[in-house]
Structure 1
């Protein structure tokens, strides 16, 4: 059995000798302590014969006694002669198994360490193992200065890493003045005051090229092999090996499956200070190299931290334009802006980055402020075409979120933009260009640009931008009213958001909102375990600098979620219906857009009308008229309200220009308009015209399974369906599907009474007057009278008593 070997290897000043003295003393004082012998080697021991004689003499005293023994060989790094080392190896390997051999050195002696490690006889203690601990550092500082704070102790520990000589130097330095905190801050700024001797002695033995390697790599806190090569060239790994061999302490740790290296904190602090003072230009250049390398490997936070030492503005600008957007999309916007510091904060590129951060927080006003500041501080160098394009794209999104019209010249600038050199910036610019086209009704052009942006993002862009492209494509299909495409794209986008942990982003919420609208227009219920349940219950908000808040999901999504809660959940609540009207008023008051916001008007009004929310209906229609004017969505919504009030002539007058228009419009809106036309004609006793109109509605609806407009007027549609024969664009399968949905609305017992009409029916059975019923329901007498007339018509009766009898017969009321 081989004797145990202990290798204590650490640079000068780390406390090896002190540790050995204490260890030997403790053993000698203890009961039944092992026999110990200690020998300190020096340059004279490079004589093999002399070394053999000295070691044998020391060992003899230990071997002469029974029981365990310890042989301590200190400063073994002094021996470099091959013959002397061979002789030392022979002696160590001949030591009896009961004797432990302790070898202490500043650098690893050239002995058979790998052999000892493989046979299990070696224990290694490095600089980390013998470092002073926090309590010891506190005692040393207190001995020189009295009581010091915990923060002061931590600061010294962080700087020195427990390197004993440096801790003692720090204690002396702190103890000479009256300002402890100031003295420690001074050490952090000028670490060579405590590192000069202990680290300087270690580095002084390094060859020139290895020393340059240490200085070059000191600009980063930790480094991978790839970063090493970027900073120090192709032989970096050999230099790292040489550093370890020559006693420069190196740390290793696994981070995300990759080996990371770092210098001892005191070595790094010393080398960094030397490089900064001796070659400031190289120091700044290496920081820029490190920043680019870290950014390429995905270490964004660390990359931007490196820029604080770079004074060349053009380098900072190029870096921010290339890597800044990805940092913001990673949620690190505030972090990287803080890392760039006050000095760089005035640069236009940083102000543009602040604008993007504001937009990610749904704060268009803040974004505009930063955009104005960027414009006022730009110089000839920073007013590059790429910077101007990015600024224009940010302006477009600020207007989009804030509900402002988008200037045409902004669209021209982004559409004609050349590549910025950054996939993320190029993709972002294209996405905003497509958004501007979509809001202007140029749908085909918008789709072409979005698909170009998606192709770009998919080959190296940030996943956040891929999601945004998918979301905007879904929104585009929604603007066109293409329900099949809209549902497919929204579903794919939600799946992508889940896969890439992006469900908390506004784009995921927008896609979930579109998916909810798909369920609504198809007359579907959302399963209790649907992912959309969680997304549409997200009530988180962004807090703006002025203390106001904004929903993280966006105002448009809030409308869709309210509609889904009111109509697509198994058990909707009354407050869910009210939320539809309030959400619609909010979006029109804050960020309304033609071809986007106006698409929700008819949907919101239909839900409110069906549930008898007359006051909210009036507010929504009035606000929509003021906001969008007499556009098709507003006209159809007004026709729906007129029809609900029994005013078929007004409804028909409002619908006529919409149905006759040659301008492209949403398929969903077209279906809604033709259904209203059919209902209006049916109630005007123009049965043949109503059949033609309902066929037009069914023909448009079938390809996309649009059934909600038909369900909103279940009784009227049910009366018209028997006249529709399969063929000419309407299949038997779709007719059966519509009948099933109508039956679902009426629960198989009535021809489509609305919830409000059912409530009026219940109250009619009590015998109360309409005036009293209106007070109980908080509705006008005329509104209650209209609901009563509608339910009479749907039940095929002409009086209250007949209605009650028919309802009892159908099982709608108790006998």
Structure 2
């Protein structure tokens, strides 16, 4: 034993802390601590106020892994003798023999390791606030414990930042497990529990916003709870938050370090180079790395982990502090950031900082150079704010600024605002415009023409290869070619635009290209590729918040079309609802038939889902409301086929005739005209006439607009053959339909076919095949659809009155016809519906959708 007096270690330093009232347990963290290998040490590293101490206290108190020991460290423990004395006092309850150890003996650590190796059960030791150790001697003791790894000891370091120990070597060898800030951040469900324990109950959306604002930081959430309990709104710059950050995070730093953090706080994230530009310090990179360890609220992020960002609440405090201390310096810092970002082609961030600097000239210059890139990257909010900061005088003096503004407004479906920008451009139009300006004007004019319904596919002006303007021109050309039924030609320019988008990180352009390519795939009959491309476009839109754009609506409509063809009415209606919500907010732009397409898909899906009269009414109203502007053939064909089929099944002969007349005017030579005529003849029982109409379609002499039209035609041929007793011919027709239906992934024509035709199809497709499974499932959801019936207008009128309590004589009086005439109509209805009474007729009519329930 040494004669040196052993220092007294307060009990609180070596006692596992108690858990406060309202403590929120987080089992996932206890599990993470338990899962660390027994021979490995654990480091829990997170900023002050992250809940490290309480998590570890709960873990030690939970038991199950042997005995526990605790030592809270402070600056006084940098004296090696005091540190060792505290260590012995903390460990002695679990290993009583340690009381006799000499803390100044040269063999202290060796003796301690030997003693710990012989413990009968594992011992967990937590060194709390390990960041307090900065002296060489106690750090060397900890390093030795980590290196020698006593078998009976599970060492846990709790620290605000990485201590100066050989941790990288330990991690590589698997002897150190980490629990860091990301692990300790409160998740929304945990945050809700913490707030409830503080007496604050708020909705899930508010909890999510609070977790985002505080980044799940425990102390931030508790301070937010205090603010909310007082009835105030938590902003993140509350005095209580600022005081905590000053005391617990910033106090250990020098004024020079704090000023550096204030200066870089004008940016959401910084690299070493940007930090140098902002602060003027050549050693900014080294200082960032140093402060990352000292605060644990400065994080590395991004590729290669070379970018740093401040914790949201710390940045808010620093920025507020900067504006209070040196308000004139803030615009200058933003201007420096804008210039630095412009030099590195980060246009969106550069514009944002130029706006913060209040430098209109810099904003205008950035827009002249980068407006198209920002538009293609989907930086809509930045563009809106930038335009709002520029006066009409500034824009009106520069045709390029005005025309790029027109494109921005057209992209957001604001044609009135776009025309105003074109007017400004015309007033300042130069006598000899540059090729780029001429190409930009051509692109704007083309956008206006296509929005108004023009289906021309060529743009006269050609932009410089490899430019943003060229990429936009290629996309616009592809869209026009697709709308004018030249899908094969459309593929190449859109693929070129897509390659440019991906090479330059222009996500919004990528979304637009994928949506157009989905349309190209649909025209080619590859509906699986169509759905996959549209899904990729929708994922981009959801990620970046672009669903509420015209392109987002188009993507939704393509997905709705895919769902309809898969006979999934509910999924179709969900996508249509999203698209309709977007299109309802646009400023009167035609969108090339998107309104009719939306109504057709909605009506067909409602019809398929059982709302038969309402579904037909939706399609009819939209077609009647459609003006004389040209429409893409595909939309006309889809609208005609879906509405005609519904009208025929509901016995609405006049509506069916109107649809046919409307379609004949627009797509007179399309195979779909023959198809709808043939389906009418089948309902009327004129099988021979129907076959004559189908023959050119089945022989391939007439080209269909819709890729699945031949499938429907062969199924109609099978129905005719079965009615004529030609079973072999029927099976052959079904086989002709199944091949392309399976390749295309199209179920709806089969599901809506005559029941006997579907039964034949299910016999011929391979058992256990995915297409068979999908077909059976869709048919089961849909149920058996009754055969279509052809009713005259007078028969429909009588049928609508049958559910009333009026007698036939009273019905005759209402209709001003003789009772015998009404009875004749009733007998015809009974025959067509296959019933024998008025009640049965009403039931059959409701089931068929001929009358509303």
Report 1:316-715 matches (<5 A). 317-326=368-377, 329-346=379-396, 347-363=398-414, 367=418, 370-371=421-422, 374=425, 377-379=428-430, 383-408=433-458, 410=459, 413=461, 417-420=464-467, 422=468, 425-526=469-570, 532=575, 535=578, 538=581, 541-542=584-585, 544=587, 554-555=594-595, 558-559=598-599, 561-563=601-603, 565-567=605-607, 569=609, 572=611, 574-586=613-625, 592-648=631-687, 651-659=690-698, 660-661=700-701, 663=703, 665-680=705-720, 682-683=722-723, 689-715=729-755
* Residues 49-107 of structure 1: CA deviation (Å, up to 9, x unaligned): xxxxxxxxxxxxxxxxxxxxxxxxxxxxxxxxxxxxxxxxxxxxxxxxxxxxxxxxxxx
Equivalenced residues, count = 551
- Do the aligned partners of 1:638 and 1:651 also contact (CA within 8 Å) in 2? yes
Relative to structure 1, the CA distance from residue 649 to residue 300 in structure 2 (aligned partners, 3 Å threshold; closer, same or farther) is farther
Q: CA deviation at 1:387?
A: 3.6
Relative to structure 1, the CA distance from residue 698 to residue 521 in structure 2 (aligned partners, 3 Å threshold; closer, same or farther) is same
- Do the aligned partners of 1:310 and 1:316 also contact (CA within 8 Å) in 2? no
TM-score by length of structure 1 reads 0.54
- Do the aligned partners of 1:520 and 1:708 also contact (CA within 8 Å) in 2? yes
Relative to structure 1, the CA distance from residue 222 to residue 550 in structure 2 (aligned partners, 3 Å threshold; closer, same or farther) is farther
* Residues 681-712 of structure 1: CA deviation (Å, up to 9, x unaligned): 55566665544333322222122342322333
Structure whose CA Rg is larger: 1
Cα distance in 1 for residues equivalent to 2:504 and 2:760: 55
* Residues 291-335 of structure 1: CA deviation (Å, up to 9, x unaligned): 6679536354444676964299877532434435546x5245443
Cα distance in 2 for residues equivalent to 1:623 and 1:272: 63
Cα distance in 2 for residues equivalent to 1:353 and 1:781: 70
Cα distance in 2 for residues equivalent to 1:303 and 1:773: 79
TM-score by length of structure 2 reads 0.52
* Residues 502-558 of structure 1: CA deviation (Å, up to 9, x unaligned): 332333332332222223222235379x964862673762253xxx58899942552
Relative to structure 1, the CA distance from residue 309 to residue 710 in structure 2 (aligned partners, 3 Å threshold; closer, same or farther) is closer
Cα distance in 1 for residues equivalent to 2:825 and 2:449: 40
Structure 2 portions without partners, runs of 5+: 1-259, 286-297, 299-308, 816-821, 849-853
Q: CA deviation at 1:562?
A: 0.9
- Do the aligned partners of 2:711 and 2:737 also contact (CA within 8 Å) in 1? yes
Structure 1 position 753 matched with structure 2 position 787 = yes
- Do the aligned partners of 1:640 and 1:676 also contact (CA within 8 Å) in 2? yes
Cα distance in 2 for residues equivalent to 1:591 and 1:395: 17
The alignment partner of 1:542 has SS state of: coil
The alignment partner of 1:503 has SS state of: coil
Relative to structure 1, the CA distance from residue 596 to residue 458 in structure 2 (aligned partners, 3 Å threshold; closer, same or farther) is farther
* Residues 718-744 of structure 1: CA deviation (Å, up to 9, x unaligned): 57659x756xxx778589559846963
Cα distance in 2 for residues equivalent to 1:629 and 1:227: 63
Cα distance in 2 for residues equivalent to 1:719 and 1:271: 75
- Do the aligned partners of 1:674 and 1:693 also contact (CA within 8 Å) in 2? yes
Structure 1 portions without partners, runs of 5+: 1-213, 242-251, 276-282, 793-798
The alignment partner of 1:431 has SS state of: helix
- Do the aligned partners of 1:601 and 1:624 also contact (CA within 8 Å) in 2? yes
* Residues 322-350 of structure 1: CA deviation (Å, up to 9, x unaligned): 435546x5245443222222222222222
- Do the aligned partners of 1:348 and 1:374 also contact (CA within 8 Å) in 2? yes
Cα distance in 1 for residues equivalent to 2:665 and 2:738: 32
- Do the aligned partners of 1:558 and 1:583 also contact (CA within 8 Å) in 2? no
- Do the aligned partners of 1:581 and 1:604 also contact (CA within 8 Å) in 2? yes
Relative to structure 1, the CA distance from residue 343 to residue 265 in structure 2 (aligned partners, 3 Å threshold; closer, same or farther) is farther
Cα distance in 1 for residues equivalent to 2:814 and 2:347: 69
Report 1:253-264 matches (<5 A). 264=323
Cα distance in 2 for residues equivalent to 1:713 and 1:781: 33
Cα distance in 2 for residues equivalent to 1:343 and 1:336: 14
Relative to structure 1, the CA distance from residue 255 to residue 404 in structure 2 (aligned partners, 3 Å threshold; closer, same or farther) is farther
- Do the aligned partners of 2:567 and 2:751 also contact (CA within 8 Å) in 1? yes
- Do the aligned partners of 1:389 and 1:413 also contact (CA within 8 Å) in 2? yes
Q: Residue 101 of structure 2 corresponds to which residue in structure 1?
A: none
